Amino acid sequence: MGDSDDTCSDSDSDTGGGAGAESESGAGDAGADGRASGQEIQLEPLDLVWAKCRGYPWYPALIINPKMPRTGYFHNHVPIPVPPQEVLDLAHSCPLTHQYLVLFFDSKRTWQWLPRSKLEPLGERPELDKAKLVESRKPTDRKAVKRAYEQAILHRCRVTGDQDTLTGESEEELPAAST
């Protein structure tokens, strides 16, 4: 992912159907999660999402509560990074639309403020995840997205204590999270 200086600039591009668009959800009956088609899934802090910034493919990220304690926070014993003050200050320069603060699972740990239209739940619909993993035309981007997706799933497994669905390892067998 790139620098976060283009924060809030995504609202004028890629204004397609968004979450729950009928073209992706199928027949219109309730899905496996019990929601009717076309109904947007609520997003909350600490949810894993696919996030879209202009010029980059959809990329795995974690929604962060900007009001979290400045001393840090643990989610089921997993440390959650604290956003830098300059990132928090950018919230005031965003449009009036509600923006979510996300932390990308990239090597730079990039922060971004994005509207709901640029976010899709990660790990809720396998067909969506598979499509996002191969969406980019550039092999280097596909590889980076796959690596970030694996990090997102690993994060979820550490938080829930579930087995890593990618490798079959349990939480106890995984290396400690780096801080």
* Domains detected in the chain: 42-173 (2.30.30.140)
- The yes-or-no verdict on residue 8 having pLDDT over 50 is no
Which pLDDT does position 39 carry in this prediction? Answer: 63
What is the predicted pLDDT for the residue at 166?
56
62-91 confidence digits (pLDDT tens): 999 999 888 888 888 888 999 999 999 888
The pLDDT value recorded for residue 69 is: 87
Q: State the DSSP string of the chain.
A: ---STTTTGGGGS--S--TT-HHHH-SSS--TTSPPTTPPPP--TT-EEEE--TTS--EEEEEE-TTS-TT-EEETTEEEPPPPHHHHHGGGGS-SS-EEEEEE-STT--EEEEEGGGEEESSS-HHHHHHHHT--SSHHHHHHHHHHHHHHHHHHHHHH----TTT---GGGSPPPP-
